[in-house]
Structure 1
Amino acid sequence: MQKPIRIFVVNSDRLFCDALRTLIASWPGYSHVGEAATVEASIAALDVIEADIVLLEIDLPGEPGFSLLQYLTENQRTERAVVLTRELHPEYIQEALRLGASGYLSHGAGSEQIRNALCAISEGRAAIDPLVCKALAEDQIHDCITDRECQVLTLIAEGACNAEIAQRFGITEKTVKTHVSSLLGKLGMSSRVHLAVYAQDTSLLKPPRAG
């Protein structure tokens, strides 16, 4: 008989831990083997509890979850770590993955998504929440789009034409067209409509400033 996948939870939210414990108990082939609210308590518990996957929050009392990830990696522990958090800042995601996390899930993930992620990780694969991928993609886009292009994009999303954008910023229509062409190229889009829809669906919009 195959051994169950043993899950250890690290989270300071008692209600959230209770919900996870109930959820894991309802899944055939999975076992909730323990939980802790801090990094220090987690390290102490994992010295005596055998776990396959550590499901952890980044925002913890005292040391952040990053410290536990670093401990697991530096001590070559066999447990694989999965971040389950409300923190979707690109810097957090990148740091967690750099420190050896095998997965990164948001609190908005459904029970089936969490179970599928744990299954993938138990098989040696990675699991990244689509919301996490979106946050990383938007961050990369922010890095390649200039402030002026973001301002132009904001006005495009509001339905402004090139002449109105030019007047708003005190630039020529030719310059506006250059910004629009640059945005289309960087975002891989073919029309202003696509730009407007995309901008409204992401965090790219910036309040336009004249000058």
Structure 2
Amino acid sequence: MTNTSKMKVLIVDDHPLMRVGVAAIIDGQPKMVTVAQAGSGEEAIQLYQQHLPDVTLMDLRLPQLSGVETIRSIRRLHPQAKFVVLTTYEGDEDIHQALEAGAQGYIIKGMPFESLIQALERVHAGGRFLPVPIKRALASRTPDSDLSHRERQVLGLLATGNSNKQIGELLGITEATVKSHVSTILMRLNAVDRTQAVISALQRGLVHI
């Protein structure tokens, strides 16, 4: 089978060893070929335009532009683009955000490599690939737990140990406004205090440190 009739895959991961390992698995398949490897979201957008892969394998943790933002950017230019997320992030919010951005498959790096091949084949054929642990995590997501952009900013600063006063200074808002945002965050995350809210946010992938 010639390269032109093989499934073309773009690999996006900021770890060179990970990219090389995944490329070896893909290139070992008779019907797949790695057309390019990117180490950042910006590079992924450029290489996507250049190679127009059938499926892009996307890590979520990337320098500067995140994996979710990269998916959104590529799909704005190419709405038909297909993505399989390959990441260490297992939180329900990570999964929700990736699928909402346009990913059709989601697998964790610790899963068997057969899952990777299955995901690529299923998504290439126009389907979705969500293994049982991913579906379970997604099903556990609390309805009405969406946070606004400002609430996410406040939560991120809470997670790094800032006081209400410090958060207000960093975001240019009053301490009273910060307190209001914190109250909303606690309610949406069903948390009794700031510590519980931060633990929940880290587990679910609402924030990453």
TM-score category by the smaller chain? 0.5 to 0.7
Partners of 2:56 and 2:83 within 8 A in 1:
yes
Structure 2 residue corresponding to 1:124, chosen from 117, 126, 129 = 126
- Point out where structure 1 has 5 or more consecutive residues left out of the alignment: 144-202, 204-211
Give per-residue Cα distances to partners, 1:73-112, cap 9 Å, x unaligned.
Answer: 2223433011110001111111111111111111122111
| Paired amino acid for 1:9 | I
Q: Secondary structure at the match of 2:86?
A: strand
Task: From 83, 86, 90, give the equivalent of 2:85.
Answer: 83
Larger Rg: 1
- Give the match's secondary structure for 1:7: strand
* Equivalent in the alignment of 1:102: 104
| 1:26 maps to which of 23, 28, 33 | 28
TM-score (structure 1 length as normaliser)? 0.63
| Residue 46 (structure 1) aligns with | 48
| CA distance in 2 between partners of 1:105 and 1:123 (Å) | 17
State the secondary structure of the residue aligned to 2:36: strand
Partner residue, 2:7: 5
2:39 paired residue among 37, 54, 58: 37
Partner of 1:64: 66
The equivalent residue for 1:138 is 140
Q: Which residue of 2 aligns with 1:93?
A: 95
Q: Unaligned regions of 5+ residues in structure 2, if any?
A: 146-202, 204-209
CA distance in 2, matches of 1:36, 1:129: 25
Query: How far, CA to CA, are the matches of 1:25 and 1:17 in structure 2?
Result: 12
8 A Cα contact 1:7 1:33, kept in partner: yes
Question: 2:91 touches 2:137 (CA, 8 Å); kept in 1?
Answer: yes
Mapped partners of 1:36, 1:82: distance in 2: 15
SS class of match (1:84): strand
- Contact residue 93 and residue 141 of structure 2 kept, 8 A: no
- The aligned residue for residue 76 of structure 2 is 74
The answer (yes or no) to whether the contact 1:69–1:100 under 8 Å persists in 2 is: yes
How many residue pairs are counted as aligned between the two chains?
A: 143
